[in-house]
Amino acid sequence: MQSNLPDTPLANPTAPRWWLWIVDRIAAIPGRAWAVMLILLVMPLVANDFFLFQIFGWSFILGIVALSLMFLAGYGGMVSLIQMSVAGLAGYMVALFGESGTAISLGLPWWFVIPLAIAIATLFGSLVGLLAVRTEGIYTIMITLAMASAFYYFTRQNYTIFNGYTGFNLVLPPALFGVDWRQPVAFYYLTLVVAGLCHLLVTYVSRAPFGLALQGVRDNPRRMAALGFNVTAHRVAAYAFASVLASIGGILLVWQNAQIAPGTAGIHATFDILIIAVIGGLSRPSGPFLGAFLFVLLATFAPDVLRAIGASGERYKMLIGAIFLIVVFVSPDGLLGLWERWKARMVRDDMMRGGGGVDR
């Protein structure tokens, strides 16, 4: 968490404080991030529609859901497998209260439906969090996994709210500003902006007093309690915050697929989110997006690649599982961890060669 705050103030000291704050924050964004942002912004010039909608759109969405897991696991030390269910619930609520091709949808206006969906999903996620924080460590995984599978079986059995096996179809985003948001370019920018905002929000929260206290709770709950912090409240609040992120991802997901069914938040989807977050790395908010991009690439192209080398194209899950196993075995903190270690080794090598300081 090194800050790249400049030594000299950039703006006129008489300018209002909020302006200085914003300038400082923007100046603190590292050059690499600017480069990534620029590349992502001009992507529609080079990438075709399939890539924009199916690869990048999906990566951003899965990245947002995995980001909520990364927030809980990385900053809160709680590996929660409920995130995909929260996302699924938000998607279901959008389909139920908004418009869809199913008779039980209520058809309320979007500006009411979206906050409502986020609120309901957040309430659900917080309630699960309230139960899950009563136990610690490895138990959290078990309990959240049990609840996630209970949610899956419930959506499959229940027809009055979740419409059972079939779920909802024709769930479309509102045509706001006269734009069809399911057009590849529009959808690309929609997901990009939302993902960027979520990333920014998590980065901000992780450095805000709440995020720092949460990291303290992760490292030593007893000491934090002795210092007067309410450990349980911080953990439940973390679940609530992560649920908001997950439900945003869930709403985007239902818009992308234009439908939602029990399998959307099934047990395999739950594991997929964990796999994404772990492959990317749980230590930084950019990890989940990296993991999601890799996952989507694998899920999309592995069948073709496998077929090209003569294997059966249906075995791509095995490939993803195997890569996940290798990453877990080789690097505890995912691809980002590998990258950091490689960078550290380069620096060490440079210093051994007597290269002195390395500019960053």
Residue 320 binds to another protein (criterion: CB under 8 A): yes
Residue 278 binds to another protein (criterion: CB under 8 A): yes
Parallel, antiparallel or unpaired: strands 168-169 and 259-260 = antiparallel
Question: Which residues, other chains included, contact 9 with Cβ-Cβ below 8 Å and sequence gap of 6+?
Answer: 20
Output the CA–CA distances (angstroms, integers) from residue 354 to 147, 177, 350, in the order listed.
Answer: 56, 59, 6
Residue 330 binds to another protein (criterion: CB under 8 A): no
What is the DSSP secondary-structure string of 14-59? TS-HHHHHHHHHHHHS-HHHHHHHHHHHHHHHHS-HHIIIIIIIHH
Q: Which of 315, 339, 340, 347 binds another protein (CB under 8 A)?
A: 315
Q: Which of 12, 309, 329, 352 binds another protein (CB under 8 A)?
A: 329
Q: Which of 11, 27, 325, 344 binds another protein (CB under 8 A)?
A: 325
Please tell me the count of residues contacting another protein according to CB under 8 A: 40
Residue 82 near residue 148, CB atoms below 8 Å: yes
Closer residue to another protein, CB minimum distance, 207 or 268: 268
- Stretch near another protein under the rule CB under 8 A, chosen from 88-96, 109-117, 294-302, 308-316: 308-316
**Residue of 319, 246, 189 whose CA lies nearest to 62:** 246
Residue 324 binds to another protein (criterion: CB under 8 A): yes
Residue 145 binds to another protein (criterion: CB under 8 A): yes
* 46's tokens: 């080079």
Q: In the bound complex, what is the minimum distance in angstroms from residue 130's beta carbon to another protein?
A: 9
Q: In the bound complex, what is the minimum distance in angstroms from residue 339's beta carbon to another protein?
A: 19
Q: Which of 149, 169, 232, 257 binds another protein (CB under 8 A)?
A: 149
Rounded to 5 degrees, φ, ψ at 104 are -80, -5
Q: In the bound complex, what is the minimum distance in angstroms from residue 300's beta carbon to another protein?
A: 17
* 125's tokens: 């996620």
Residue 84 binds to another protein (criterion: CB under 8 A): no
Closer residue to another protein, CB minimum distance, 258 or 267: 267
Q: Which of 321, 342, 345, 349 binds another protein (CB under 8 A)?
A: 321
- By three-state DSSP, how is residue 311 classified? coil
Q: In the bound complex, what is the minimum distance in angstroms from residue 134's beta carbon to another protein?
A: 4
Rounded to 5 degrees, φ, ψ at 183 are -65, 140
Q: In the bound complex, what is the minimum distance in angstroms from residue 165's beta carbon to another protein?
A: 12
DSSP state of 71: I
CB atoms within 10 A of CB 24: 15
* 296's tokens: 């989507």
Residue 139 binds to another protein (criterion: CB under 8 A): yes
Q: Which of 51, 210, 229, 271 binds another protein (CB under 8 A)?
A: 271
**Residue of 63, 97, 78, 92 whose CA lies nearest to 155:** 92
Q: In the bound complex, what is the minimum distance in angstroms from residue 110's beta carbon to another protein?
A: 29
Helix (H) or strand (E) holding 300: helix 286-308
Q: In the bound complex, what is the minimum distance in angstroms from residue 290's beta carbon to another protein?
A: 17
Q: Which of 26, 28, 38, 135 binds another protein (CB under 8 A)?
A: 135
CA distance 232 to 50: 45
User: Which residues, in sequence order, are bridge partners of residue 169?
Assistant: 259
Binding site for another protein (CB under 8 A): 79, 131, 134-135, 137-139, 141-143, 145-147, 149-150, 153-154, 157-160, 267-268, 271, 274-275, 278, 312, 314-315, 317-318, 320-322, 324-325, 328-329, 332
